[in-house]
Amino acid sequence: MVGYSGRLKCLILILALFFSGYSVAEDANVSWAQLNAAQQAVLKPLASEWDTLRPWQREKMLDIARDYSNMSPNKQELVQKRLSRWSRMTPYERENARKKYQEFQALSPEKKEELRKKWLGYQKYSESQRLKLRSESPDSYTDADLE
Amino acid sequence: MSKYENEVTSNTGNHMVQNTPEYNEFAEAQLAHSVVGLLDAHVQHVDAEISNRLLVARGLAVSQLTKLQTQVVVSHEVNQSGNVLQWFGEHVGQYVGHHRLMSFILVTAALLLAFFAAQQFGLNNNLEHSDAYLLASDLPPEAYADKGFDAWLDTAAD
């Protein structure tokens, strides 16, 4: 016969599995038609390719839609503007961007401003020059590692 | 030396050495036996009033003894349950011991609350790290992903 502590452990395990499973399964396989109006409005740049995205990619995009409502109008505009470009980036580029963003967040406001100016300076380089710089920088991991 | 002690001494004879634990134990048993014998012999001559008072006193003594034994057993049972709520005091421990269903519900509710609080905390903690905030950051996402920009920064730093 299962004792008091045994029943308690079972209940906790079941609840933990239920809630963790629910939170993942809830978003993973939602088609474009199943998104609500607010989600569709935010993710509109991705409408044509939504149904081709993998479940974990959809989940990431739905996270963006969720956080979008907590942002100021200026930030929301930036998100809308950059979402298409973001969706077209490879998994490697996205993962690299997340890593660099974390590092950027840790910088002081002065350093952030300095980096922002440097990015503008980098934009003045020609595409061929930038391609040369990219080709000289080896990948630490490939897209296949992230699939 | 009293009359009863004399009897004990005479009964023990030469078989036991006085003032040893064995002797004392045997002497006590003999004394009790003698008391019982004397009481039995004189019980017929005790008047009704004294008999009633003895009966009441005996009843009180027995009920007191029963109460003490019950407390010891309950305390032992509660301690054996090993409930962590006993850390909050004996009364809480006894309550939990007597209300297992209620304590089970309370513990479950507390765990659920802690689970949702942890999730909420994790959600808030990760809010600034989500992709939405990356997209809305000072730099566009391609700036973070462009390894050419990284290389150029390293070159510029040298």
pLDDT single digits (tens) B108-130: 899 988 888 877 665 555 555 67
Q: What is the pLDDT of residues A77-136, one digit of tens each?
A: 999 999 988 888 888 888 889 999 999 999 999 999 999 999 999 999 888 888 888 888
Burial A59-96 (b: 16+ CB within 10 A, else e): bbbbbbbbbbeebeeebbebbbebbeebbebebbbbbb
Q: Is B126 on the interface with A (CB under 8 A)?
A: no
Cα distance from A3 to chain B (closest Cα, Å)?
Answer: 11
User: Which DSSP string corresponds to B103-120?
Assistant: HHHHHHHHHHHHHHHHHH
Burial B73-85 (b: 16+ CB within 10 A, else e): eeeeebeeeebeb
Q: What is the pLDDT of residues A93-105, one digit of tens each?
A: 888 899 999 999 9
pTM to 2 decimal places: 0.48
Query: Is the CB of residue B8 less than 8 Å from the CB of residue B31?
Result: yes
Q: Which residues of A touch B147 (CB under 8 A)?
A: 96, 133-134, 137, 139
Question: Cα(B8)–Cα(A10) distance, rounded to whole angstroms?
Answer: 66
> What tokens were used for B27?
């002497």
Q: Which carries the bigger pLDDT value, residue A25 or residue B29?
A: B29
Mean pLDDT, residues A26-52? 85
Cβ neighbours of residue B16 closer than 8 Å, sequence gap 6 or more? B22, B23, B26
Cβ–Cβ below 8 Å for B132 and A89? no
H-assigned helices in B43-140:
48-81, 90-98, 100-127, 131-135
**Is pLDDT at B1 greater than 90 in this prediction?**
no
Cα distance from B68 to chain A (closest Cα, Å)?
Answer: 29
* Residue A6 confidence class, pLDDT cut points 50, 70, 90: low
Could you tell me the residue ranges of all domains in chain B? 1-45
Query: What is the structure's pLDDT at A79?
Result: 92
Q: Is B158 on the interface with A (CB under 8 A)?
A: no
